[in-house]
Chains A and B, each alone.
Chain A
Amino acid sequence: MTAEQIIFLIVAAGIVGSALMVVTTRKLIHAALWLVAALFGVAILYAILQAGFLVVVQVVVYIGAIAILFIFAVMLTRRELRDQGPQVRKGWWVAGLLGVLTFAGLSFIVSQWEGFSKLAAEIPADADTLGSLATALVSPNAYVLPFEVASVLLLAALIGAVYLAVKK
């Protein structure tokens, strides 16, 4: 059991625990905050995976924007006595069962893959993953198109959100 593995297990437990709290906690504010915790855990995971840029993006975008948005939305839509009573629907056990089944199924399918237990290769010292990523995002031979499309998508979302939120 190397140090990496231990760190991984701790982080994984943290993520899973936070996620469980997100979906079960009664108060919605708490759910949003637990989500922040889970997102932090995912960021750490990215760091373990040596995707440095993604760590930053995760923290800035997910936690910094999306989670904040959630908190705003919760604030804007809260009412007294709302967070009382069960927060799950009547048929929640069906959903639980389905979740378990999904987990089992996914695990099973993936475990059938022969590269299931492979170990990661070492990153060569001179590999510039960040530079390659940047190049890939703007290179016409690579992913410039999805990149641009994503920006259009964001623009659309921006306009849409504004439109929806504007009081008539």
Chain B
Amino acid sequence: MSIPLSWFLILSAALFSIGLFGVLARKNAIAILLGIELMLNAVNINLVAFWRYGTIAEMAGQVFAIIVFAVAAAEVAVGLALIISVYRQRNTVVADDLDLMKW
């Protein structure tokens, strides 16, 4: 393969930053979760790229990525359940309205 590793890494960094922006800047709680998904994907890209460009026999990279998949799935499930639950209670999904964890 003729693609330098750096391209993957830069891509992953960019995707991560975009996801970060989404987390920090979006009002809607679901949109925040979308941002998180982007960040997780960026991580996955990084992991698989390192597997491919490192020791191929060493399966750690892929295994890690698989675990990340599982975690992402679990997290989304629970997160969305939470958001729906909150929506049922308070009739809002705007993150800024959920401010009980304060003084």
Q: Interface of A with B (CB < 8 Å)?
A: 2, 4-5, 8, 12, 15-16, 19-20, 22-23, 28, 31-32, 35, 38-39, 42, 45-46, 48-51, 53-54, 57-58, 61-62, 65-66, 69-70, 72-74, 76-77, 86-89, 91-92, 94-96, 98-100, 102-103, 106-107, 110-111, 115-121, 123, 127, 129, 132-133, 135-137, 142-143, 146-147, 150-151, 153-154, 156-158, 160-162, 164-165, 167
A76 contact from B1, B21, B25, B84, Cβ within 8 A? B84
Query: What's the least CB distance linking A68 to chain B, in Å?
Result: 10
Quick one: closest B residue to A146, CB to CB?
A: B67
Asked if B76 and A2 sit within 8 Å, CB to CB, the answer is: no
Known: A73-B80, A143-B59. A23 touches B26 (CB 8 A): yes
Q: Interface of B with A (CB < 8 Å)?
A: 1-11, 13-22, 24-28, 30-31, 33-35, 37-38, 41, 44-45, 48-49, 51-53, 56-57, 59-60, 62-63, 65-67, 69-78, 80-85, 87-88, 93, 96
Asked if B1 and A119 sit within 8 Å, CB to CB, the answer is: yes
25 A-B contact pairs sorted by A residue (CB < 8 Å): A5-B2, A5-B7, A8-B3, A8-B7, A15-B11, A15-B15, A35-B34, A46-B48, A48-B3, A62-B37, A69-B80, A73-B80, A77-B30, A87-B28, A99-B24, A102-B13, A106-B16, A107-B10, A116-B6, A121-B53, A137-B63, A142-B59, A157-B77, A165-B84, A167-B88
